[in-house]
Amino acid sequence: MERLSKEEDVVATVGDYKIKVFSADKLADVMRINKTCLPENYPSSFFIYLHQNFPKAFLIAEKDGEVVGYIMCRVEYGLSNMGIKLTRKGHVVSIAVMPGHRRKGIATALLRAAEKALKEYGAKEMMLEVRVSNTPAISLYKKLGYKEVKVLKRYYSDGEDAYLMAKELEEDDDEK
């Protein structure tokens, strides 16, 4: 049976693109975008696990029903990357936008919406790993206030290092 998208699934818009919460009928689209855009790929069970546990922080970008990007995240409890304390961290597991749709602000909108959702899950700061050679992604994260916290040596299976990047999430009293 077809699942008609509800208006409340839309959390933001960027031009003609809608940022929506992921639903399981979009799994094949998201897995295809992940394979097209990144060497780090996962079994379908991993996508479903993230969706079931952190549904508001698994988002897609869609234009005329075509999925062109996604972000998926989780919340972890552990040592802060910003100070010496235990804290809840929002972890960006994976983000990608299809080549024909880049530099339009889609990743920015996905990341901002995910940060808001992760705050609702109690996250106090954000963290992610990114290849040290991935200039577009590093530029995106820096623009949104992330800082390089440390280098994770040989983090990727091909031996490349990662930057661990992190940022503090602001307490907001002006948002609903």
CB of 95 to Zn ion, least distance (A): 11
Find out whether 107 and 144 touch, Cβ atoms under 8 Å.
no
In the chain, how long is the greatest CA-to-CA distance?
50
Which one among 56, 63, 88, 102 touches ligand ACO, defined by CB under 6 A?
Answer: 102
Residues near 84 by beta carbon (within 8 Å), at least 6 away in sequence: none
Annotate each residue in 114-153 with x if it binds ligand ACO (CB under 6 A) or - if it does not, as one string. --------------x-x---xxxx-xx--x----------
CA-nearest of 4, 3, 1, 59 to 33 is: 59
Annotate each residue in 51-90 with x if it binds ligand ACO (CB under 6 A) or - if it does not, as one string. ----------------------------------------
Total residues in contact with Zn ion, by rule CB under 5 A = 1
Cα angle 59-37-78, degrees, rounded to a multiple of 5: 55
Find out whether 152 and 161 touch, Cβ atoms under 8 Å.
yes
Where do contacts with ligand ACO occur on this chain (CB under 6 A)? 37-38, 92, 94-97, 102-108, 128, 130, 134-137, 139-140, 143
